[in-house]
Structure 1
Amino acid sequence: MKNNFIFSTTDIIKNKMDTNNYKYVVLQNRLKVLLISDEKADKSGCSLCVNVGSFDETEISGLAHFLEHLLFMGTEKYPDENDYMNFLSMHNGSSNAYTCNDSTVYYFDVSNKYFNDALDRFAQFFIGPLFNKDSVDREISAVNSEFLGTVSNDGNRRERFLQLCYKEELEESRFDCGNSDTLRIKNIREKVIDFYNNKYHPDRMACVVYSNKSIEEMEEIIKIFNDVPSEKTSNNTNNTSLTKYPCTRYNEYIQNVKKVNWYNLWSQYNDSDKIFKEDCVNKLLKLKSIEDTKRLDINIKTLHPNINNLLFDVLIEDILKEDKGCIKILKDLNLAYDMSVYIRPIKYYGIFKISVFLTDKGFENPILVVNEIENFLKNYEMLSSDIQKMVDHNEINFMYREKEDVIDMIEEISDNIMRVPIQNILNYEYLNNKPSKELINEVMDSIRKREEWVFFVSSNSFNLKSKDSIYGIEYEK
């Protein structure tokens, strides 16, 4: 079996509580597989990530999402469109999938006894899907139902509004869910098949297999993935190195991230690139919400969080400190009663997102809130003592990390296999690499550029003139 792998390694860092056995292999068709053997597993599962998503669509909004739906609708080996889900249902299993900007993730779990048969059915999605004509219209309706479910969700509405603020030539500006208007078009079945054939190649796939079986047994059952057809015309841009990753030191980690990361983050990032429209930055925008809420959202382009997760963890914690953080200042001024901060990775950069839940005074003076946040960030200094506390915190959290839900674990890992060195696939979020002063300054310089911020206030009390044609969002720029 060894000769059937292009590359394999068991050199994967795990914590003290982790009794699992791990092995990473690359099949002959370049499909990547992480095997996880847990003799105490109650159920087995598999998650496969394809590094293809809505950003890969060029003309038809929602095509990647629609493809995700159609793959469940029968295969050449198992043509009954209900066979897969019925099999899982009969054997204490479940399955689902989701489409993101740059990836689509499919996963299932099932009773250990029936794992081999379930995996065979699952693998056929990527070997011989039927794209059944009878399913096309029904699945368009299913996608449209999902879309309609997002229309009344304020979180989705805010993200849609942010899409309207991106420059129109960028993928980030596109409507990504899809609906009846975008998908019920001539030759849609042929178009989704072309998309599948052109994009769904094994060198863009990463799989996690989890079971109570031994590593040797799993090496045998994953042979089915060798049947995923390769194409010479693959547009894959992943320059994954198949050598061993000696990533015990941070500079080596960064160099290897550059090799394996799907978007070659650091070669593409340019701090001077403007991603938002000029009429959307550094001015108060307004959005009508569904819920009775008063909130301010600030969106800031910065570096991708994978460059140093610890740096962003410290920054976010310091902003939210009740004794001396930005939230304390806003509360003391009676401008806000709560606040959340996180960074969202998008392609080769990150969006630093600050959400402020406003008091009546804050709602009446949103620019004052923005000014206070700007002043806090301008005067902020990251202390070495806070960095060390986060290092200690991360070390304890990783080394004594409790076992996760199987589905949550395998889907997260599969989505990251092509983004970080395989040795660090379990600990990349906990790496205790103290950021250099130069890196801290680079991140803070990007975050402090108020002239590039997109900020808007939301309330259901607004009556606004502009209206989005897709979500029906009322807004004002």
Structure 2
Amino acid sequence: MQKTDIIQSQNDSRQYQAFTLDNGLKVLIISDPETKKAAASLDVFVGSASDPEDRDGLAHFLEHMLFLGTEKYPDADEYQTFIAQHGGSRNAFTAREHTNYFFDIENASLELALDRFSQFFTAPLFNAEFVEREKNAVNSEYLGKIKTENRRYYAGIQQAFNPQSPYAKFSVGSLETLADRDNDPVRNDLLQFYKTHYSANLMTLVVLANEPLPVLKKWVTDKFSAIPNHYAEKKVFTEPLLTEAQMAQQIDIKSLQEKRELSLIFPLPATQSYYLAKPSAYFQSLLGHEGEGSILALLKEKGWADELSASVGFSDNAQESSLHLGINLTHAGLQHTHEIIDIVFQYIRLLQHYDIQEWIFQEQKQMAMLQFRYQEQHDASSTVTMLARNLQYYAPQDVLRGPYIIEQYKPELIKQLLNQLRPDRVLIALNTQNIATDKTEKNYLVDYRITPIKPELIETWSQSPINPALALPTANPFIPDELTLKTTQTDSAHPELIKQNPGLDLWHQLDTSFNVPRSNLYIELQSPIANKTPRNSLLTSLLTGIVNKQLNSYAYPARLAGLNYSIYATERGMGVALSGYDQKQSVLLEQIIDAIKAPEITEKRFHILKARYQQKLTNAQKQQPFQQVLAELKRTLVERRWTNEQKLNALSSLTRQDLTLFAKDFLKQLHVTLLLQGNSTVIEAENIASMLDQQLALQADAPQVPAAGVIHLQEKSLNARRLTIDNHDAALALYFQAADKSPQSQAEAQLLGRIISSAFFADLRTRQQLGYNLGVAALPIKDIPGIIFILQSPVISAPEIEDRYHTFIDTYLQELQAISEQDLESYKAGLITRLLEKDKSLQTRSYRNWLEIDRGNDDFDTKERIAEAVSKIDKNRLIAVYTDWLIENPRQLRSYALGNQFINDDFPDPKLIIDIDAFKREHNKL
């Protein structure tokens, strides 16, 4: 075995060890005595790009199949039940060149979980019965997302790729691509793919737990050394994303939702091996810049675009890379796409004409160093998943710092890549609703048209004069140079209310326990008019949009320097959140408050925002059915939560003058609540509070706005909301509300949700194959506990879905009655572990505390109260709650959509369909 010294952040106290097993499996083990959760991830360096030519979706199908029984653990539900029983979660995903399997679990159960997990890669059954069933699950996943915009866009743009490129393949799979054929059953292809590619030398494994490294190493060695090494070779993809024949083309894609998205895709040479230099980061940062002199700033000035991003494109492997520029157009911008593209190429030529600026590189290097030096932990599952992929790309000693590090200055390489960004090497994509097309893609039925870019356009884009408004950014004033951790004489376990007057509540905690010079500041500006009506709710959202747009050019450098901010509408008013290095926070905050006090509501800006908000509301009605029925259920149960229809009706008549008047009225009766937590002193907190008090002219008689209440459902009641959704599938969410919001009821709902979930999945998904998007879980609406059953199905109607729920509920009662005390204690212990898991970052802790302040819990101990209540639940109580909530005295709300193929198959009780406004008026609130 080989072992390596790993470079880690000074802020990282975990212990790491990397080594390679005799079978070629690369391993990273992590010992963290503080973690409440263990986790593991195994990454196989093969994905859908390696699907056989006639078996699209095979890698994805194989990912599904591995969960369904092994020689040692033949029960198809064994793995997921064990994980759920012990407070864990599990999942997997298939990408173009990776298939990743991961889970988290309570520490005490890790060894047994690893034993089950390792069997996937040594002795899976590929049971013929489940092969047939799981095809339907893959097909349901495909059909369920057939109208999802990102899937449709990708399927469309693939038609402009080199058809021989692995990135041009249909990757999900369907009943057609996975069908048994004469002398070619799909199970044989599965077995062959598994044997060919699931070789230990193409795998990486990361395990994190509170155990010492020697213990983890022994477990890994004992359980994973049996994975066979077939000495498989990583597939090399020699066919490029775009050949010369695919460059200098435009593809127009017809969207279902209202979209106006313009993309520029450039193929580039491979850059993976230059991760210490990250040459593409130089021009990605400049092209995606949003400050003064940037592409976006000029496009905004012209009223043609309101968002721009620059990122790694569709291909990024050892053979090639690419660059993707995405621009969100306004209605006006849609009429000026050629001029917009011209401006992009003007800026690119500006960069090409300049020498590479070392000071820009040094800024990027400094921020990357700070990001790594002061990184905060992610949760266990995210950590292992990310690192398992990193282990495939970086030298073992760089597995932690690889994504961050920028230390080698290679101006000649940057210049070489930059010179590839030419009009004759671009693929342009325009994704919008009303556009002429002449072909239809076969899997997602996307209409598209491909046309060559005219030579005269290429000439114009190559030679047009550079607009004087375009310029390189100036030095970033927000990069911190004061990174000292502050101290205090008194340590508090949670934030304290250090100032309270009729207009303002100030909470503060100096918290440097994560050893980062950062602070999080949350501010809520409560206004009694903010959410009083659908119209006011819209005006509040538009006001936050205006403020965000107004600040963007000024504040974008702050984001680059690790100081993030957001301004957003809340149910009580407007929220402002700042997070990051504390040194320059007050400077940014003063600019934010100035913008709120004096918003620049120009006619152009107002109409762009109004159109964007209309687009957002309209598109929300075209999301997947399960998403819509769930959102509607939540809206129905909460006071002052307006429907999309209500907002759309109010939006059409709004004018710039309406918003101007509203912005002034919004400021008149503000009550401010704020929390400052992190590397900030009491004096700094008080200074911020005084600034807000003075700048916003807070009034002593300003009322606090109460939180919106939750509708109280009556015992033995059933209410319904029916949505009309243009989709093939039926979808139904059935919600059971608890009688109160006590910690006991919250504990009971969470425990029941965890216990039921695996059996529900195994029955309706694995055995009955009713759909891909389904589940049962505890669903608190605000603090009111409840349990939700949800399913989107391509095979049965909404009434039949509900019948299956009730059949399951009645049948499962016997299983619950038969649960052993040992299994019940395992579920309880696992849930308690999850509840009491320590905050991984200052951001996580501050946000949790902010929610506690919002719910009025000065003790900041909601999780602890629920965990204590979980510990007191016995079997008799659990059965009594299950029977009462779900069978004998249910408080039910049904939210559903019939689906196009079941349009005539509705429930026979139309009187249950509620009018949401009348419903909220008539019912009491909890």
- Common fold, TM-score beyond 0.5? yes
Task: Report the counterpart of residue 48 of structure 1 in structure 2.
Answer: 42
CA distance in 2, matches of 1:283, 1:74: 48
2:224 aligned with 1:225: yes
CA distance in 1, matches of 2:18, 2:440: 50
2:185 aligned with 1:212: no
Could you give the per-residue CA deviations for residues 223-267 of structure 1, whole angstroms, max 9, x where no partner exists?
210111223xx3324xxxxxxxxxxxxxxxxxxxxxxxx86xxxx
Question: How far is the alpha carbon of 1:339 from its aligned partner?
Answer: 0.8
Which one of the candidate residues 437, 455, 460 is aligned to 2:411?
A: 437
2:233 aligned with 1:236: yes
Q: Residue 24 of structure 1 contacts residue 34 of structure 1 at CA under 8 Å; is this kept in 2?
A: yes
- Match of 1:340, SS state, is strand
Task: Report the counterpart of residue 470 of structure 1 in structure 2.
Answer: 443
Which one of the candidate residues 13, 16, 27 is aligned to 1:22?
A: 16
Closer, same or farther in 2 for the Cα pair 1:456/1:55, shift >3 Å? same
Deviates more, 1:417-426 or 1:322-331: 322-331
Q: Residue 165 of structure 2 contacts residue 240 of structure 2 at CA under 8 Å; is this kept in 1?
A: no
CA distance in 2, matches of 1:364, 1:391: 39
* Structure 1 unmatched runs, 5+: 238-261
Task: Report the counterpart of residue 290 of structure 2 in structure 1.
Answer: 321
CA distance in 1, matches of 2:258, 2:225: 53
After superposition, where does 1:48-87 map in structure 2 within 5 Å? 48-59=42-53, 60-87=55-82
Question: How far is the alpha carbon of 1:377 from its aligned partner?
Answer: 0.5
Which one of the candidate residues 264, 276, 280 is aligned to 2:242?
A: 276
Letter in 2 for 1:97: A
Task: Report the counterpart of residue 316 of structure 2 in structure 1.
Answer: 346
Task: Report the counterpart of residue 331 of structure 1 in structure 2.
Answer: 300
Deviates more, 1:222-231 or 1:431-440: 431-440
Task: Report the counterpart of residue 299 of structure 1 in structure 2.
Answer: 265
Closer, same or farther in 2 for the Cα pair 1:150/1:449, shift >3 Å? farther
Question: How far is the alpha carbon of 1:274 from its aligned partner?
Answer: 5.8
Question: How far is the alpha carbon of 1:158 from its aligned partner?
Answer: 2.0
Q: Residue 165 of structure 1 contacts residue 277 of structure 1 at CA under 8 Å; is this kept in 2?
A: no
Letter in 1 for 2:35: A
Task: Report the counterpart of residue 173 of structure 1 in structure 2.
Answer: 168
CA distance in 2, matches of 1:463, 1:475: 8
2:329 aligned with 1:358: yes
Number of residue pairs aligned between Structure 1 and Structure 2? 437
- Match of 2:83, SS state, is helix
Could you give the per-residue CA deviations for residues 311-338 of structure 1, whole angstroms, max 9, x where no partner exists?
3333222222321111112222322111
Question: How far is the alpha carbon of 1:206 from its aligned partner?
Answer: 0.5
- Match of 1:360, SS state, is coil
Question: How far is the alpha carbon of 1:299 from its aligned partner?
Answer: 1.0
2:113 aligned with 1:148: no
- Match of 1:23, SS state, is strand
Q: Residue 387 of structure 1 contacts residue 434 of structure 1 at CA under 8 Å; is this kept in 2?
A: no
Using the size of structure 2 for normalisation, the TM-score is 0.46
- Match of 1:158, SS state, is helix
After superposition, where does 1:238-257 map in structure 2 within 5 Å? none
Question: How far is the alpha carbon of 1:163 from its aligned partner?
Answer: 1.8
Question: How far is the alpha carbon of 1:285 from its aligned partner?
Answer: 2.2
Task: Report the counterpart of residue 457 of structure 1 in structure 2.
Answer: 430
Q: Residue 240 of structure 2 contacts residue 320 of structure 2 at CA under 8 Å; is this kept in 1?
A: no
Task: Report the counterpart of residue 395 of structure 2 in structure 1.
Answer: 421
After superposition, where does 1:95-134 map in structure 2 within 5 Å? 95-134=90-129
- Match of 1:84, SS state, is helix
Closer, same or farther in 2 for the Cα pair 1:291/1:142, shift >3 Å? same
Q: Residue 57 of structure 1 contacts residue 64 of structure 1 at CA under 8 Å; is this kept in 2?
A: yes
CA distance in 2, matches of 1:399, 1:18: 9
Which one of the candidate residues 276, 294, 311 is aligned to 2:279?
A: 311
CA distance in 2, matches of 1:469, 1:162: 13
Percent identity over the alignment is 27
> Which structure has the bigger radius of gyration?
2
CA distance in 1, matches of 2:41, 2:116: 13
Q: Residue 284 of structure 1 contacts residue 367 of structure 1 at CA under 8 Å; is this kept in 2?
A: no
Closer, same or farther in 2 for the Cα pair 1:311/1:277, shift >3 Å? closer
- Match of 1:126, SS state, is coil
Could you give the per-residue CA deviations for residues 282-307 of structure 1, whole angstroms, max 9, x where no partner exists?
23321111221111011111134532
CA distance in 2, matches of 1:277, 1:236: 25
CA distance in 2, matches of 1:275, 1:68: 25
Which one of the candidate residues 370, 379, 389 is aligned to 1:396?
A: 370
Using the size of structure 1 for normalisation, the TM-score is 0.88
Could you give the per-residue CA deviations for residues 182-207 of structure 1, whole angstroms, max 9, x where no partner exists?
01223001110111011111011100
CA distance in 1, matches of 2:217, 2:50: 32
- Match of 1:410, SS state, is helix
Task: Report the counterpart of residue 258 of structure 1 in structure 2.
Answer: none
CA distance in 2, matches of 1:103, 1:215: 27
CA distance in 2, matches of 1:277, 1:368: 26
- Match of 2:30, SS state, is strand
Letter in 1 for 2:367: H
Deviates more, 1:337-346 or 1:348-357: 337-346
Q: Residue 283 of structure 2 contacts residue 418 of structure 2 at CA under 8 Å; is this kept in 1?
A: no
Question: How far is the alpha carbon of 1:151 from its aligned partner?
Answer: 2.1
Question: How far is the alpha carbon of 1:449 from its aligned partner?
Answer: 2.3
- Match of 1:365, SS state, is helix
Could you give the per-residue CA deviations for residues 23-63 of structure 1, whole angstroms, max 9, x where no partner exists?
01111111111000000111101100011111212221000
CA distance in 2, matches of 1:437, 1:415: 28
Task: Report the counterpart of residue 385 of structure 2 in structure 1.
Answer: 411
CA distance in 1, matches of 2:358, 2:175: 53
CA distance in 2, matches of 1:217, 1:67: 31
2:321 aligned with 1:368: no
Question: How far is the alpha carbon of 1:452 from its aligned partner?
Answer: 2.0
Letter in 1 for 2:443: I
Closer, same or farther in 2 for the Cα pair 1:115/1:274, shift >3 Å? closer
CA distance in 2, matches of 1:124, 1:340: 42
- Match of 2:229, SS state, is coil
Task: Report the counterpart of residue 240 of structure 1 in structure 2.
Answer: none
Q: Residue 252 of structure 2 contacts residue 430 of structure 2 at CA under 8 Å; is this kept in 1?
A: yes
2:91 aligned with 1:91: no
Task: Report the counterpart of residue 251 of structure 1 in structure 2.
Answer: none
Deviates more, 1:307-316 or 1:92-101: 307-316
Root-mean-square deviation (CA, aligned residues, Å) is 1.8
Question: How far is the alpha carbon of 1:276 from its aligned partner?
Answer: 2.4
CA distance in 2, matches of 1:433, 1:274: 29
